[in-house]
Amino acid sequence: MDEVGRQKLWSEYGKTKTPALREKIIVEYAPLVKVVAGRLSMYLGYNVEYDDLVGYGVFGLIDAIDKFDPAKAVKFETYASLRIRGAILDQIRKMDWIPRTVRQKQRQIDDAIKKIEAEKGEAANDDEVAKELGISGDEYADWQSQMAVTNVISLDEFNENSTDDGVGGRETIADAAPGPEEVLEEKELKKTLADALELLTEKERKVILLYYYEELTLKEISNILEVSESRVSQLHMKGLAKMKTKLGKYMGILKMS
């Protein structure tokens, strides 16, 4: 259905909110649930089934349809994406399935990285972190795959920075013409991001670029790189960990994408 058809559908639904029209809207926007679920699956890797994420997201879509106000200057797709994402994260948090040991490992890794980088003055590599933790390289890789689960917590900021109108807390480029300060900050951001990408291995860089720039899903990236989805998730988490210190205040551009 094209944009004109969608507007007509919303207009009809606004006049007579029949179950039949509501069902049509759900079917029309169902692909959006799959897109949002696919994006989130990158953070969760193989820890949660993709179909389960889609199932949780459908409730968010229905909630968005029931609460959306076409009179407000917000696209439904934008509003619904926030509701869908929020519904998925809410359900995952309700499950309370992040073991305490995983949280402890995350803190140990963060502390080890900070210590190494404070001593070296540059990014820590996997071998150095594993040595600092007193574990093997293979065991450290396993720890990192488990860390994908903890990223659900970091995504809380996404929902907290969003209003009920579906508008995020940050301004977009389209909101206003950039002033001198914004232009300088954009240049700084581009340089910082380029420097951060240089810290990554070739495969880690490909995963980050394919995910955040090409907006591909976990499954699509695994097909392109010809590796398992769990391996893609692991590369993603390793890449983020390396970029964390370099990006600093700009880390949100990746966590909230």
pLDDT tens for the chain, 257 residues long, are 788 888 888 889 888 889 999 999 999 999 999 888 887 776 665 567 788 889 999 999 999 999 888 877 788 998 998 899 889 888 877 765 566 677 788 789 889 988 988 898 877 788 888 899 999 887 887 777 666 555 554 444 434 444 344 333 333 333 333 444 444 555 666 677 778 888 888 888 898 888 877 777 778 888 898 887 777 877 887 787 777 767 765 565 565 44
Whether the CB-CB separation of 223 and 215 falls below 8 Å is answered with: no
Q: Which two tokens stand for residue 217?
A: 């899903």
pLDDT for the residue numbered 27: 92
Whether the CB-CB separation of 53 and 231 falls below 8 Å is answered with: no
* Residue carrying structure tokens 């909110």: 17
- pLDDT per residue as tens digits for the range 152-164: 544 444 344 443 4
Q: How far apart are CA 97 and CA 93, in angstroms?
A: 8
Residues in Cβ contact with 76 at an 8 Å cutoff, skipping those fewer than 6 apart: 10, 29, 64, 68, 70
**Model pTM score:** 0.54
pLDDT for the residue numbered 155: 46
CATH of domain 179-257: 1.10.10.10
Residues in Cβ contact with 161 at an 8 Å cutoff, skipping those fewer than 6 apart: 168, 169, 170, 256
**Of 38, 96, 45, 39, nearest to 237 (Cα)?**
45
**2.60.120.10, 3.40.50.20, 1.10.1740.10, 3.40.605.10: CATH of 3-95:** 1.10.1740.10
- The 3-class secondary structure across the chain, one letter per residue, is CCHHHHHHHHHHHHHCCCHHHHHHHHHHHHHHHHHHHHHHHHHHHHHCCHHHHHHHHHHHHHHHHHHCCCCCCCCHHHHHHHHHHHHHHHHHHHHCCCCHHHHHHHHHHHHHHHHHHHHHCCCCCHHHHHHHHCCCHHHHHHHHHHHHHHHHHHCHHHHHCECCCCCECCCCHHHCCCCHHHHHHHHHHHHHHHHHHCCCCHHHHHHHHHHHCCCCCHHHHHHHHCCCHHHHHHHHHHHHHHHHHHHHHHHHHHHCC
pLDDT for the residue numbered 148: 56
Mean pLDDT taken over the chain: 75
Q: How far apart are CA 130 and CA 109, in angstroms?
A: 9
pLDDT for the residue numbered 186: 59
Q: Which two tokens stand for residue 101?
A: 């040991």
pLDDT for the residue numbered 172: 32
Domain ranges of the chain: 3-95, 179-257
Q: Do domains 3-95 and 179-257 have the same CATH topology?
A: no
